[in-house]
Amino acid sequence: MPNPLPATLTTVAAVRNLPPSQAARKIPVHLRGVVTTPNGLRNSFFFADATARIAVDLTNPAPRFHAGDLVEIEGGSVAGWFAPSVLADRVTLIGQRDLPKARLFRMSELIGGDQDSQWIELEGLVRSAEVQAIWNGPTLVLNLDTGDGLASVRVMDFSSGG
């Protein structure tokens, strides 16, 4: 007898804890939290509630959401690239909220994708910086030496100082 589908999931942690095969079954989700980062690659963003962080893809073109937007999401779970994520049928802007506190990681803790979509902090020395035309606009690309690895950091919203 197959496992019954859970009821509507109301926390990011509940979605992220799904095995990929179960997440792919589009289990209903209803989440409330804050947009941490818009994704420049497609109609999507990263999202946080009090329990965890997750990637959210939108089924329909929507207004661009911004970091700090407080939103309510209705949709379903999907397997995701590295971890389960959400396919949102509807996202409602409710207001604004402070971003969650980021956790400091070492580069070696980030290999393998376990921290996919998480709100992280890295410390290191910037070895180079240049503006490149990616993600449909100017993006600041930093090459960061963390002491235990190299990271390429992309900053979409930045001031050129000019």
The 3-state DSSP class for residue 32 equals strand
Dump pLDDT digits (tens) for 87-101: 999 999 999 999 988
Top CATH class, 12-96: mainly beta
| Start-end of CATH 2.40.50.200 domains in the chain | 12-96
The 3-state DSSP class for residue 73 equals strand
Chain centroid offset of residue 162 CA = 30
36-52 average pLDDT score: 85
Distance between CA atoms of residues 24 and 135, nearest Å:
27
**How would you list the strands of the sheet with 137-145, edge to edge?**
125-134, 137-145, 150-155
Are 52 and 36 contacting, i.e. CB atoms less than 8 angstroms apart?
A: no
Distance between CA atoms of residues 102 and 113, nearest Å:
17
**Structure token digits, residue 150:** 């190299």
The pTM for the full model equals: 0.79
Lowest mean pLDDT among 35-39, 52-56, 66-70, 87-91: 35-39
